């Protein structure tokens, strides 16, 4: 009799546990610029990740929220983090920013100096961590897909990626090293050393293959959280 009662209690506990997981998915905010803004589109990386979760039977365990605005730099994210992140009460935030901070230095002379970039990034992480949000940060991908370091902005992209790697260590954040991963992909797959058309449409914004690759790359870290 005692064994039967114990079995019933265990089954009830397992059922309640499953119900709690389904009703309380991990809420993830993807915080960034135009790439993230497009991420919720039909072939965007957030949409691709949601499709992957569905295929794996994990759709009920995660809630994916896009919070990207075109042209944003690190200080734009800091200025809107209360409304676009804190107000959504996420468990996890994925910060993917830095391309405009670098790109706009040469395209419009409105980029972000390295020291300001680091200060704003640290300040943003500090505010999110104080709210008990797990912060994951990403290095920027590409501004031009040539793999031989001949893209105009490669030097700054590498320098700002190093800053982000340092920020991750200093703040004990998980790092998704997109810069490293994308360059490795280009070296293996961009045989003609094209400036675009492999993972991007215009050297920066992702095509469908790029969005799929980004979703898969991010998922490798997200699934461990």
pLDDT at 29 over 50: yes
Q: How many residues does the chain have?
A: 225
pLDDT > 80? residue 25: yes
Query: What is the average pLDDT across 7-27?
Result: 52
pLDDT at 154 over 50: yes
User: What's the rounded mean pLDDT across residues 82-97?
Assistant: 98
Give pLDDT, residue 5. Answer: 40
pLDDT for the residue numbered 4: 44
pLDDT at 28 over 80: yes
Residue 20 has pLDDT above 70, yes or no: no
- For residues 107 and 146, what is the distance between their CA atoms, to the nearest angstrom? 18
Asked whether the predicted pLDDT for residue 115 surpasses 50, the reply is yes
pLDDT at res. 15:
43
pTM for the whole structure: 0.89
Q: How far is CA 109 from the centre of its chain?
A: 26
Q: Where are the alpha helices (DSSP H) in 132-207?
A: 154-171, 178-189
| Domains of the chain: residue spans and CATH | 26-222 (3.40.50.1110)
Write down the pLDDT at residue 6.
Answer: 38
Torsion of CA 114, 199, 57, 20, to 10 degrees: 20
Q: What is the mean pLDDT of the chain?
A: 92
Number of Cβ atoms within 10 Å of the Cβ of 56: 11
Q: What dihedral angle (degrees, nearest 10) is formed by the CA atoms of 132, 32, 183, 111?
A: -120
Reduced to 3 states, what is the DSSP secondary structure of residue 153?
Answer: coil
Q: How far apart are CA 60 and CA 22, in angstroms?
A: 5
Q: Which residue in this structure is represented by tokens 């996420």? A: 90
CA 137 to chain centre: 7
H or E element at residue 18 = helix 2-23
Output Rg (C-alpha) for the chain, integer angstroms.
20
**What is the three-class DSSP state of 30?**
strand
pLDDT at 7 over 80: no
- pLDDT at 23 (0 to 100): 67
Q: What is the pLDDT of residue 12?
A: 41
Highest mean pLDDT among 11-15, 108-112, 140-144: 140-144
Q: Residue 1's pLDDT band (boundaries 50, 70, 90)?
A: very low
């Amino acid at each position: 009799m005692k064994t039967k009662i114990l079995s019933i209690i265990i089954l009830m506990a397992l059922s309640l546990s499953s119900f709690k997981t389904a009703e309380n998915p991990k809420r993830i905010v993807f915080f960034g610029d135009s790439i993230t803004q497009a991420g919720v589109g039909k072939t965007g990386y957030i949409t691709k990740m949601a499709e992957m979760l569905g295929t794996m039977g994990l759709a009920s365990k995660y809630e994916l929220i896009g919070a990207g605005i075109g042209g944003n730099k690190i200080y734009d994210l800091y200025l809107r983090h209360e409304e676009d992140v804190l107000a959504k009460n996420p468990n996890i935030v994925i910060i993917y920013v830095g391309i405009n901070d670098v790109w706009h230095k040469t395209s419009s002379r409105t980029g972000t100096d390295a020291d300001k970039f680091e200060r704003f990034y640290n300040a943003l992480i500090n505010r999110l961590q104080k709210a008990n949000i797990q912060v994951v940060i990403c290095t920027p991908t590409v501004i031009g897909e040539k793999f031989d370091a001949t893209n105009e902005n490669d030097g700054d992209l590498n320098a700002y990626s190093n800053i982000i790697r340092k920020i991750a260590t200093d703040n004990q954040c998980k790092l998704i090293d997109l810069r490293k991963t994308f360059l490795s992909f280009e070296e293996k797959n961009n045989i003609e050393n094209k400036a675009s058309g492999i993972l991007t449409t215009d050297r920066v914004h992702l095509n469908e293959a790029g969005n799929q690759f980004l979703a898969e790359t991010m998922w490798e870290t997200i699934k461990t959280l």
